[in-house]
Structure formats: C-alpha cells, structure tokens
C-alpha cells in the first residue's frame, strides 16, 4: 500500500484534479452572477433583485429601529453590569435579565429585515433564548440566599 502523500507511480502529475481532466477543462464560475444577500435569504426572496420596473433596487441595510433596540439592550446590559459592580448584585442581575426580556419582545414584534442584530436565528428560537436567559437571571438573582458576611 502506498502513502497517499507520495507522488503517483504511473507518471501522472501529482495534483487534485480528477484523472480525466486537465488544466484547460476547468470551468470558471461566471462573473455576471449577482451575489445573494443574507437579508434576501432571511426574507425568502432570492434571485432577481430588480423591482417591478426592471431597475435594480439599492441595497437595503438593516433598519435603524432594530439597531436602536439592539443598542438599547446592550446599553441596559452594561448599566446592569455597572450596578453589579458598584451598587447591589441582585439589582444589577435583574436589570440585565430585564434587558434580555426586552430584546426577546422586540425580536418577536419586528420583522426579520427590521430586527437588525437581534435577528440571528429563527424568530422563535431567538426570542425563546433571550426570554429564557433573562428569566433565568431574574429567577437566580431572586432565589439565591444571602451569604453571611457579604
């Protein structure tokens, strides 16, 4: 048995092309095929990007409403971390849990195109994970007993 990394013994050049193809028969992908944006795939619209009049639509970036809510969730979470560090850990953890629950509600209400960075997976999975983590943080902050000396 020969080592696959050794050059072939029958005089063929050692490369990864199939046996019946040489360098001139490789097919290059056409350059005129437009790329499909991730937003189109999420919305279920892929293929031709032209509108009803045949004019190409300008690429639409995520809506500012989803970005604004994402930044609000992020800012609230950072504020919760500051409360944990400087005030009371229970209150700070509850603030962070509330921010995640707010993110879950926003994710359920907004369309995928408008959700911005809150849209990572399917809507129900995103909302379930955010709400579950937020509820778990609030539950744990409420149920952990006080430790003596802290």
pLDDT for the residue numbered 78: 97
Q: What gap in Å lies between CA 82 and CA 63, rounded to an integer?
A: 29
> Tens digit of pLDDT per residue, the chain (150 long)?
566 666 666 666 555 555 555 556 667 667 776 766 666 666 555 555 555 555 666 655 545 688 889 999 999 999 999 999 999 999 999 999 999 999 999 999 988 888 888 888 888 999 999 999 999 999 999 999 887 776
Q: What gap in Å lies between CA 93 and CA 106, rounded to an integer?
A: 20
3-state secondary structure the chain: CCCCCCCCCCCCCCCCCCCCCCHHHCCCCCCCCCCCCHHHHHHCCCCCCECCCCCECCCCCCCHHHHHHHHHHHHHHHHHHHHHHHCCHHHHHHHHHHHHHHHHHHHHHCCCCCCHHHCCCCHHHHHHHHHHHHHHHHHHHHHCCCCCCC
The residues, ordered by sequence, that sit 6+ positions from 12 with a Cβ below 8 Å of its Cβ are 19
What's this model's pTM, rounded to 2 decimal places?
Answer: 0.57
What six digits make up the tokens of 90?
């229970």
């Amino acid at each position: 048995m020969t080592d696959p990394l050794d050059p072939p013994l029958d005089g063929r050049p050692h490369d990864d092309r199939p046996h019946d193809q040489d360098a001139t028969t490789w097919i290059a992908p056409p350059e005129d095929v437009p790329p499909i944006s991730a937003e189109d795939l999420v919305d279920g619209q892929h293929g031709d990007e032209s509108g009803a009049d045949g004019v190409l639509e300008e690429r639409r970036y995520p809506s500012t409403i989803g970005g604004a809510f994402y930044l609000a969730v992020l800012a609230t979470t950072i504020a919760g971390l500051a409360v944990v560090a400087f005030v009371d850990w229970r209150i700070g953890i509850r603030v962070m849990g509330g921010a995640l629950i707010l993110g879950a509600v926003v994710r359920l209400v907004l369309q995928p195109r408008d959700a911005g960075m809150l849209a990572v997976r399917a809507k129900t999975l995103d909302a379930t994970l955010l709400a579950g983590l937020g509820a778990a943080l609030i539950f744990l902050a409420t149920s952990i007993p006080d430790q003596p000396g802290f």
